[in-house]
Structure 1
């Protein structure tokens, strides 16, 4: 997954890592990622996390149009 460009997924992963290490945001599903099993569909899991993070940060306008919408909670 080497790339010469920073992608949206890279930013989402950075937010999840910051949240996990500093617990700055309440991102559902990222509570104990170190004890979780590897997802059966990692790409689908990444899309779900991307949606949750961007909606939670009120940046849903950055979501690709092809993804189904996620409603904000909390």
Structure 2
């Protein structure tokens, strides 16, 4: 299990990537999480992938709402 601090850090990295214009498919943990391996390692990488993706999604939601408001 990842620490709370590690999860927050990965969420921040995902949000920062979205702020720079990266797409959700650019998650650096996607390929690693999909690799075959020990179940403990697979769970660990899947958690990293999901934390990054969550941060990206939050930033994306914020930007979508913010820019939609300005466009109206």
Return the TM-score normalized by structure 2: 0.31
More helix by share: 2
